[in-house]
Structure 1
Amino acid sequence: MSPHTSQHPERTGTPGPDTRSGLGRRAFVGVLGAAALGAPASAAHASPEPVRAGRGGTDLRPVFLGTYGNGIITCTYDTTTGALTRQSAFTAVTDPSFLAVAPGGKVLYALDNAGRQGAVRAFAIGAGGALTPLGPAQSTGGANVTHLSAHPAGRHLLSANYGGGSVAAHTLTGDGGVGARTGFVQHTGSGPDPSRQEGPHAHQILTDPKGSYVFAVDLGTDKVYTYRLDAVSGALRPVSEARSVPGAGPRHMVFHPTAPYAYVANELNSTISVYAYNTATGVLTRGQSRPTVPAGAGRAVRNYPAEVTVSADGRFVYLSNRGHESVARFSVTGGGAELRLLDTVPSGGSWPRHLSLSPSGALLFTANQYGNTVAAFTVDRDSGALTPSGRPFATSSLGCVLPI
């Protein structure tokens, strides 16, 4: 079913009372699979093939686009300008709105929402980014899977079911394919927003930078759950829970690459929160929260933060604003404990559901779900400032942009 016609609030692509479509909300994603995971996922993946030369000797690398209705699109991007060129597409997968790459960069993981329960799939990445399925899709055990990430140890795939309010773990086979489901946890509870928090809605699952603990960000219960992944059985063992501001609707989280802090994008109250992280126990403790748009901007249109990522040096945090249609840039201060909004820049299209940094950190890409575009920005090494680079790339309705 098309994400624009589904009656499920997490399948429509529209958070809450968006008057442009009149539909309910489709929370998804956004680090990339692993990366949104722990360290900025986009900065941790190796290329699956040698870098190729483009026109004028420029370097080209693969980038994968997760779409609604048009499968997985493979492109190349110019490592200097960010310009995209379409290469191919794998269409035999339903709404692969979030993608992740295995450690080593040779296997791509995708969501598949073809049935009543969500599923996850694996693809070998070949020459030019061509995708070859590795085994069948495997059920995640819950409705509307919205996020997945590869555990850094390379032996398990993690997934979050937004509709079902649950999280799962699957074993990975020797070639990187998805095997049996080994872990499953059903969240319970609700939040103060009756239209969006009537029950649990797990929106993201990720690991810390060292792979010690697994974290599930649940928009419906206003909590971030800590789990320990049993390396032998693949079970997810509950450790602790951290509460957000009531009604904040935590959506996605990213860890600082070196300091013991994490940053959570809150979809329902348009804020970003800092959490102190006890690396020994896995416990998160909420600290300051800051608006994600400039003062007064939130009065013009309701804003729904989506994806959050951090520069490899930990000096800047970037967040996509849907409604304000922008990318916010924050400076990281206080050793990681504080954020300060520096500015916002137009996202290059409507409803920036996802953003990601290139492995070099020199480029940032936005996946604009309603605008059907990918926009590229160059990143100033010193200031972290974003500058639009060329015209946005026209494509399908997007949930994810994954440069490798």
Structure 2
Amino acid sequence: MLSSHLLFVAFLSSGVSAARLYASHYSGTINILNLNGNTLTLVNSTSTGNTLPSWITYDSPGKALYIADEVFYGASSGNLASFSISSDGALKASGKGPTAMGVVATTLYGGADGRSFIANAHYQTSQISTFKLPLTGAQPLQTLKYTMDGPGKIPSRQDAPHPHHVFTDPTGDYLIVPDLGADLIRIKRIDRSSGKLTECGTGKPVPGTGPRHGAFWGSGANTTLFIANELSNSVSGWKVAYPSASTGCLILTLQDTLTPYQGNASAPTGTKVGEIHVKDNFVYTSNRNDKRFSGNDSITQYNIASGGKITWVENTSSYGTYPRSFDINKAGDYIAVGDQTTSNVAVVARDTVTGRLGKMVATLRIGAAGTPENEDGLSAVVWAE
């Protein structure tokens, strides 16, 4: 029998046009998928080398993949794993970095190319950490730990700071950290040459909002930051003001907030807004456990007006349950939804003009299904472009 790697090479050399995706599973695997027409195929599955792979950062120019470790039990720490990507898409372990527990997101930043360093958001241990790349097994370049004077408005979820995402602004000069536990949007100034981060103000949502993930739209004076709020089940738009001096700080001003449902209706009990992405003049969020489509959960689309204001458009099926992760391809004609609990990747058509999501093109179950509210099942999916 041919190995998965040889099958992959044979597939690509056959002249068939295909799209490639990578998906991680909380069982500890990274999986290579091929989309060919309406067929989604598992090409290879391999161990990530960490305990709870929670997030994939794909470096297209550098032909590399970085996989975070959300481990929060047993071992005292986890590790950030890197893989090099060969011309045929196969993965080879290339490095590690020791991390404190609970990494739920990573991002590349800094350097002349914007990808010389990597930052980690640690939900479990209330910190962010950074590494210089490539990963060599060395200790983090920097660790920034956070504390609170007391629990937040929702003590069961806001007992401590819980950074949940890290990403850069459009200029690459600032790192943004939504902190679900502290109800803050933390802003860090980036020293591009050293990779060092310094505190540079905060955005302050309404108590009990629980900012989880974010994405930018626009540029310069017409820049808006959109934040998916897990605890209030909403999306907020923040106007961005850049400083006139290089030593100044980015300033965020809350502009508007909408729920994921028509008429600004409240989310069903038990729902949790998940990821958020911007494509063209549209914002999308995933809604975990709202069961709006015959037991399946939903994706919400919003339109963005010229000033950054958003309006609700529609909800469509996520074609599974607990859509923890989703990614829109560069062409904008497909969205890949990573449904955590049903542990499937659903590829859905997208209209590049209206932004509307259409029918499911293909779906594939990967690994064992998860259970609601547990760290199991599918954890992340990205297009390899």
Per the TM superposition, whether the score is higher than 0.5 is yes
Quick check: 1:241 aligned with 2:202? Answer: yes
Q: Residue 371 of structure 2 corresponds to which residue in structure 1?
A: none
Provide the rounded CA distance (Å) in 2 between the counterparts of 1:299 and 1:332: 21
User: How many Å apart are 1:368 and its aligned residue?
Assistant: 0.5
Provide the rounded CA distance (Å) in 2 between the counterparts of 1:64 and 1:89: 10
Match of 2:88, SS state, is helix
Q: Say whether the 8 Å CA contact 1:373–1:393 is kept in structure 2.
A: yes
User: How many Å apart are 1:322 and its aligned residue?
Assistant: 0.5
Q: Say whether the 8 Å CA contact 1:54–1:60 is kept in structure 2.
A: no
Provide the rounded CA distance (Å) in 2 between the counterparts of 1:182 and 1:300: 42
Q: Say whether the 8 Å CA contact 1:260–1:279 is kept in structure 2.
A: no
Q: How many residues align?
A: 345
Q: Residue 134 of structure 1 corresponds to which residue in structure 2?
A: 94
What is the correspondence of 1:39-188 to structure 2 with a 5 Å cutoff?
59-78=17-36, 81=38, 83-91=39-47, 92-102=49-59, 104-113=61-70, 115-135=75-95, 137-140=96-99, 142-151=100-109, 153-173=114-134, 180-188=139-147
User: How many Å apart are 1:257 and its aligned residue?
Assistant: 4.3
Provide the rounded CA distance (Å) in 2 between the counterparts of 1:202 and 1:375: 28
- The change in CA–CA distance for 1:72 and 1:124 in structure 2 (over 3 A counts) is same
Q: Say whether the 8 Å CA contact 2:54–2:70 is kept in structure 1.
A: no
Provide the rounded CA distance (Å) in 2 between the counterparts of 1:299 and 1:87: 38
Q: Say whether the 8 Å CA contact 2:224–2:240 is kept in structure 1.
A: yes
Quick check: 1:269 aligned with 2:232? Answer: yes
Name the larger-Rg structure. Answer: 2
Match of 1:370 among 341, 349, 356: 341
Match of 1:286, SS state, is strand
Provide the rounded CA distance (Å) in 1 between the counterparts of 2:340 and 2:70: 17
Provide the rounded CA distance (Å) in 1 between the counterparts of 2:94 and 2:229: 35
Q: Say whether the 8 Å CA contact 1:62–1:128 is kept in structure 2.
A: no
- The change in CA–CA distance for 1:296 and 1:250 in structure 2 (over 3 A counts) is closer
Provide the rounded CA distance (Å) in 1 between the counterparts of 2:153 and 2:269: 21
Provide the rounded CA distance (Å) in 1 between the counterparts of 2:306 and 2:192: 35
Provide the rounded CA distance (Å) in 2 between the counterparts of 1:169 and 1:394: 33
Q: Say whether the 8 Å CA contact 1:265–1:306 is kept in structure 2.
A: yes
User: How many Å apart are 1:292 and its aligned residue?
Assistant: 1.1
**CA offset digits 1:310-356 (Å, max 9, x no partner):** 11x2x1111100122100000001432x1111000111001000111
Q: Structure 1 length normalisation: TM-score? A: 0.80
Give the residue type in structure 2 aligned to 1:238: E
**Higher normalized strand content (fraction of residues):** 2
**CA offset digits 1:199-255 (Å, max 9, x no partner):** 100100110122111111110001011001223432210001111121011000000
Provide the rounded CA distance (Å) in 2 between the counterparts of 1:366 and 1:113: 20
Give the residue type in structure 2 aligned to 1:283: I
Match of 2:327 among 339, 356, 367: 356
Match of 2:165, SS state, is strand
Q: Say whether the 8 Å CA contact 1:254–1:310 is kept in structure 2.
A: yes
Query: What are the ranges of 5 or more consecutive residues in structure 2 without an aligned counterpart?
Result: 1-7, 244-248, 291-296, 368-376
Q: Identical aligned pairs, as a percentage?
A: 26
Give the residue type in structure 2 aligned to 1:317: V
Q: Say whether the 8 Å CA contact 1:103–1:150 is kept in structure 2.
A: no
Give the residue type in structure 1 aligned to 2:284: Y
- The change in CA–CA distance for 1:278 and 1:177 in structure 2 (over 3 A counts) is farther
Match of 1:393 among 345, 353, 364: 364
Query: What are the ranges of 5 or more consecutive residues in structure 1 without an aligned counterpart?
Result: 1-48
Higher relative contact order (CA 8 A, sep 6+): 1
Structure 1 residues 87-96 or 213-222, which shifts more?
87-96
Provide the rounded CA distance (Å) in 1 between the counterparts of 2:124 and 2:152: 15
What is the Cα-based RMSD across aligned positions, in Å? 2.3
- The change in CA–CA distance for 1:203 and 1:257 in structure 2 (over 3 A counts) is same
User: How many Å apart are 1:112 and its aligned residue?
Assistant: 2.6
Match of 1:389, SS state, is strand
- The change in CA–CA distance for 1:178 and 1:357 in structure 2 (over 3 A counts) is farther
Match of 1:69, SS state, is coil
User: How many Å apart are 1:103 and its aligned residue?
Assistant: 5.1
- The change in CA–CA distance for 1:113 and 1:334 in structure 2 (over 3 A counts) is closer
User: How many Å apart are 1:296 and its aligned residue?
Assistant: 8.2
Provide the rounded CA distance (Å) in 1 between the counterparts of 2:16 and 2:360: 15
Give the residue type in structure 2 aligned to 1:162: Y
Quick check: 1:328 aligned with 2:287? Answer: no
Q: Residue 294 of structure 2 corresponds to which residue in structure 1?
A: none
User: How many Å apart are 1:59 and its aligned residue?
Assistant: 2.1
